[in-house]
Structure 1
Amino acid sequence: MKIAFVIQRYGENIVGGAEYFTRLVAERMGQYHEIEILTTCAAEYHFWKNEYPEGSDILNGIRIHRFANATKRNPNKHTQIQETVFYADHTVNDEEAWVTEQGPNCPEMIKYISHNKNKYDCFVFFTFRYYPTYYGIKEVTSKSLVVPFAENDPALDLSTTKEIFERAKGIVYCTPEEKTLVERKVGITKGKVSDIAGCGIEVPKSIPRTENEELQDKQYVLYIGRIEGSKGCYQLFEYYMRLVNEFPDLPNLVLAGLDAIEIPKHDKIKYLGFISEEEKYSLLSGAQFLIMPSPYESLSLVTLEAMCCGTAVLANGECDVLKGHCLRSNAGLWYQNYDEFSECFRFLCSNDHLRSKMGDNGKTYVKKNYSWDVIEKKYMELFSLFDHGQKS
């Protein structure tokens, strides 16, 4: 079968989030089907500036078709339209204006989908929030799957969002919590094809100790991801500095990833910037535990990677997805206020045996639910819906 994965940006240097997830699934499913990527020339998601060259490319055996965006996002206009469609009376035209400004505004991609839809057996649209999914799914309704990456935000209440889920032949959720959220907020037609899949998690069999001299033989807790307010980082800094002022001997807080806000200057907060895949696993395996402060997640690959490394997790309990991972795995604790954060943090630091047991539980949970053989089987079954007697 020939299958198109539609995603707003795609590239080897785009790490984390839906885009990285899409690349992992594409490269894995490329073993069984002819997978092609339809994406834009954007490398970043704030303005959707065209940075990659337009045209075809190949990355790790997967063909990529890139289309130039017609416009860059205007942040002021985007904010104004978003305030209207999220919090005031508005029309469908207002919502479509939001979709266009949300972007990436790429009519050439939609034109390609329209003209070439008979060349593909199936189109898989990754993330529901963006222009390519809304306008692309209109062109290929009966051939479409949507992987929504839904979080609890006002975009789920829009009629344009409901239209996406109505038009899609099937839905591929990441977690049970995401499925429950979408069904509650959007209302899914009875009998709609769906499954809960997520992404395969695979860590190296042999993980060396970190080469960072500052961290060798030191106790630390770890955050990996975008360092920004929407990921709960302001609250994390507030809670950690308050806690370490009360208990100065606590482990350092180590941060890795893109810094989009000002990290507080503190002797016990260490910022590493971007790190390699190899260093990521070294840091995860050596941490006392991973902290995930985000209130909004649809899967959280790094949480599952930590569990797969045998590392316990301390998560924001306001996020149903993260709390669900902790409950089902018995591999993490969660907090919903400072007192709970303080108790859980200190409890994990002082209980080596408990952390070790949580680590074992996490490995079992990931192997059972997020090993590649499990994920591949689910995608193969969904793709078979579109196989009309062809050899794959």
Structure 2
Amino acid sequence: MKRTGSAVTAAAAAFVLAQSPSAVAADAPAWTVPTCARVTGDGAVTYTTDDGASLAPTTGTLKPVSYTHGLVALDTPDTLLATRNSELQRSTDAGCTWTRVATLGSGSTRLTAAPGGRAFAWEMSGGYLARVDGRTVTRLTAPTANIVGVGTDRARPGHVRLAGGDGQLFDSTDGGASWRAVGIRAFGGGTAVYSVAFDPADPDHAVAGGMARGGAVTTDGGATWTSSTGLSGTAGGAANLFQAAVSPADPSVVHALGIDLVEAAPGSGSEGRHLYRSTDGGRTFVKTVDHSPRTKLTNGTLLAPSPSDANVLYFAYGTYYQDHGTDLFRLDAATGKVTTTHNAYDGISAIAFNPARPTVLYLGVEEVRVD
């Protein structure tokens, strides 16, 4: 077994924030920043203040096989939720202490935060859906057995939007108790949709990723969809867009992960895999990072855009194979520079940002290997 925190640098033993309280944004919730030298919990979540150069150690050693696919900071001060396998965990002290809240009906559950301290737990490419209010988990009936995205509405607490794997959007105005189909299917139907990313500030704005069809964007809640361009270097060329992430700092900026199928020929150094960036809400994309031995990309690479800088995107690559561990990357699109830090975990499944100080990153980690 490994990792109670010692493997992620000795500097974490005196883990304290150096930034001043004056750096807290005026419009941020009444959050604080974690000052604990050690995170109390089973090891599923840690945090970093230096882009992963050092991680806060944890009191518990994460046991295999563990995935922390869900991790969100709520608008309730100092409150976060996380999902490790089928377990829902909660912290009310800015990520210093984690306790079990409930057992969920899925072993691979993501989380989407909603207004009023609420969140929705859902299974990617599955039908599990639940609403979390405080410590209460309410199982919901999803309108599809293949959920590929969930968005919430800051202006309307009961308003939730959900996407199915055929590109159909569904709307609820009662917190997920009932649903109705809205708009038309992305790509006109008939195309498998990998994921739909909703704008955290406006659920009418969403970007769908399709098989061979690339991307499509809507700004009117699915009433119309516009095909994305730039995902293939060949005009009209096919591309897979696996996932996208709309920047919380600027909704016109969208980061995406995909494969240029024209470029993905045998012997291609990048294998056609790229990160892309759009500055017009997802209508047109340009390549920002190529798959390479230094910046490895997979079909499921985690994308986490900074909530304070639309140029900054965090992504990760991790594996237990040959004790590789995990590389946490930070892309600054303004300069094109990618910086890398490394840790001994088998992977990072989710990233959340402290609302008061976004330079504090919470990491949901993986333990896959059995020693």
Question: What's the TM-score once normalised by structure 1's chain length?
Answer: 0.27
Question: Normalized per residue, which structure has more helix?
Answer: 1
Higher relative contact order (CA 8 A, sep 6+): 2
- What is the TM-score when the length of structure 2 is the normalising length? 0.28
Q: Which has the higher strand share?
A: 2
